[in-house]
Structure 1
C-alpha cells in the first residue's frame, strides 16, 4: 500500500441531477416532430440518436413529453416559435444552479461527517451555461453555513474541460497552504441552450448534452483510514494547432451557440497518445503510451470520442467502462461530467494510477495524472 502522508487529495465527490429525465427515444421523437425539420433532417436525427449510446438524460426543462398546451418553458405552440430568450434561459439557470449546487454540496458534507463546514477556506465554482452576480457561490455560502470569509473563485465559460482548471487551482492552493480546504462546485445546465435550427452541429449538440452538478473536496490532509481518495499528482494542458474553429461556445441571439466540427474526434485521436506520454514524462514507463495506468477517466463527450481514444491508445474494451457508463446514464454534462466518472472510480475502492482527460473549445485538452489510494 502506498504512503498517504503526502500530496494533495481529492477526498470525495457527490453529484446531483434534475429530477426530470428523458429516455433518448423520447428526445428523438420530440426533435423529429418539429415542423421545421424535413425528411433529410429527420433521417439525420435517426442516425445520430441511434449511435449515441445514451439511454437517458436529465434536464431542468420539464416540457418534453407533455402536451403542447402544458408547456411552461417553450411557447405553447407546436412550432415552438418564438424560442425562449437568453434572459429566460438564464433566469432558469439561476434557479436551478442554486438548487443543484446546494444538493451536491449538502451530499458531500454528509459523506464527510468529520468535516466542519466552517473550516472550508476556499470555494471554486465552475459553469459555462449561465451567469449571475451574486452567483451560486454566494448562495452556497449563505444557505449552507459556510464561512462568510471564504475565498471564492469562478471558472467560467471554458467548456467541457473546466473541471480540470478547478482541480488544478485547488491543487495549487493546497500546495501553497497545507491547511487549506477547498470546495469545488460545478453546475452545467446544457439543455437550457437547446435550439431548433436545421443545422447539423446544433442537432448533434441536442442529441448529446444534458444537465448535472458535482461537488468535491480537496485538501493536503491524508485520506481518512479506510476511505479511498484521489491524489492529484500532475496536470497538463494542450491547445491543438489550428483547431480554434473545431469547437466553439458563444453567446447567441437567443441562447449560447455551440459549433461542433465532425473532425473533433479525429483531432483527439491524432494527439491523445502524445498527450498521455507528456503526462508521464517524469515517471518510469514501459515504453508505450499507456504506461502503468490502471484506470482511465476520459470525458465522455460522445461515443465517437471515446471510441477514438480507445483505438489510439490500444485499450482493452472494458478500460473505459466508467466513461461509457456515465455517457449511457447521463449524457454529456459539459465540465461536470468528469466528476461523475471520477466518482464511480472512488466508489470502486480500488487503488492504482489514473489518467484523466477532457476536451473543449480551443480545441483544448486538459489532462491529469492521479492516484487512487486508501487511507
Structure 2
C-alpha cells in the first residue's frame, strides 16, 4: 500500500512580533551594554527573520508584562512549572486550528490514527487525548506521541504514519506538530541563548495521510533516509532546566551539516534511484543552514524560496516548521505538476539528518 498526504493545515498564535520587538525585549532581559549590545543587534539583523508569532503578549508591550515579571531586570524569569502551565493553556487551541483544516476533507470519525509531535511541552492526559475529545475522534483511535526530538520530528511522524498505511485496512492518519518555542526563551548571557532567542517562534501544523489514493491533488510518500552526524552530537541539544527547556544551538551546526549532507544524499539517491528534483522543502533552521544546503544541492535561493519565505515570516518553529514549508509549496500552484518530485530535508539533535522524497499527483 502507498501513503498519500491528502491535506495540510497550519496555525499561528494571535501575537505577531517583529524581529526588532523581540530584540528590544531580549536586550532588556540580558541587560547588555556597549559592544555586547551591538553584537546582539547584528545577530538579530543577520537571521533573515522579519516576524515571528508567540502565545506571549509581553514581547509586544514593554513594561506591561503578563507572563514575565514587571521589573527592569525581568527577574525572576518564569520557572519550568509556569512555562508548562502556559503550554497546557495554549497548545490545544492552536493544535485544533491546524487539525480542523485537515478534517475539512474527511469525517473525523474516520480518523484511524493520531500522531502528536512536540518538544516544547508535555502533560498527561496529554494533547493527544485533548484532541480526540475536542475533534470528536473515535475513542478507539490509535494514538502515538513523539516528544523531544526537535526540528526533524515531523519526518518521524510521517514515517510512523507511513508504517501504519502499509496495512490491508483503510488508514487515515492525522499528524499534529505543535511547538511553543517562545515559552522557553532564556535570560542567561550565553551564545546558545542569544542564538536560540533570535530564531524560534510558535506554531502548529497538521497533515492528513491515507493509504487510499485521493481523488484530489496529493503527495505520495516515496522514500526516506536518516543518519547521524555523530561529530556534531554536542552542537545541538535540548534539556529541561529550572527555568524552562534550555536549547543548546551552536553556530557550528552548519559546518557539521556541510560534512554530513553528501553521504546522506548519496545514500538516498542510491536507494531511490532519484537524483533530479523539481521542488525542495528544507527545514529553515537558520539563514546559514539554508545557505549551506543550497550550496550542497547546487540550487539558488530562488529554488529554495518556500523555506526562505517561511523563515522570514515565522522563524524556526521546530518540528512544525517543515510542514509550513510544505504548505507553501502546496499553495503555490506546484500541485498542478503531475509526477514532479519533491526533496525534503530536516535536522536536529544528534546531530540527526533526515531526508524524504515526495511525488506530486495532480489528478488533472
TM-score, normalisation: structure 1: 0.93
User: Gaps (5+ residues) in structure 2?
Assistant: none
Mapped to 2, the partners of 1:203 and 1:234 lie a distance apart of 36
Q: Which residue in 1 is equivalent to 2:352?
A: 364
- Report the alpha carbon displacement of residue 234 of structure 1 after superposing the two structures with TM: 1.2
- Please name the residue that 2:130 is paired with: 139
Please say if residues 343 and 357 of structure 2, whose CA atoms lie closer than 8 Å, have aligned partners that are also in contact. Answer: yes
Q: 1:53, 1:135 → 2: CA distance?
A: 35
In the other structure, the counterpart of 1:252 is 241
2:322 aligned with 1:338? yes
Once superposed, what is the RMSD of the aligned Cα atoms? 1.3
* Residue of structure 2 equivalent to 1:311: 295
**TM-aligned CA deviation for residue 228 of structure 1:** 2.1
**Shift of residue 178 of structure 1?**
4.3
For 1:281 and 1:29, how far apart are their aligned partners in 2? Answer: 49
Q: Does 1:96 align with 2:84?
A: no
Q: Deviations over 1:97-141 (max 9, x none)?
A: 11111111112212x1xx111011110000000010011111111
Contact 2:30 2:187 in 1 (8 A): no
Q: Using the alignment, how far apart are the partners of 1:260 and 1:35 within structure 2?
A: 18
Runs of 4+, deviation exceeding 6 Å: none
TM-score, normalised with respect to structure 2: 0.96
Work out whether residues 171 and 212 of structure 2, in 8 Å CA contact, stay in contact via their aligned partners in 1. no
1:210 aligns with 2:197: no
Deviation at 1:92, TM superposition (A): 0.6
- Residue 242 (structure 1) shift: 2.2
Deviations 1:172-215 (A, max 9, x none): 00013441110001100000000111111101100000000011
CA distance in 2, matches of 1:252, 1:284: 45
**Would you say 1:301 and 2:285 are equivalent positions?**
yes
Matches of 1:25 and 1:99, distance apart in 2 = 27
Structure 1, unaligned runs of 5 or more:
1-5, 286-290
Instruction: Give the helix-richer structure, 1 or 2.
Output: 2
The separation in 2 between residues aligned to 1:358 and 1:49, in whole angstroms, is 23
Please state whether the residue corresponding to 2:271 is helix, strand or coil. coil
Aligned length: 359
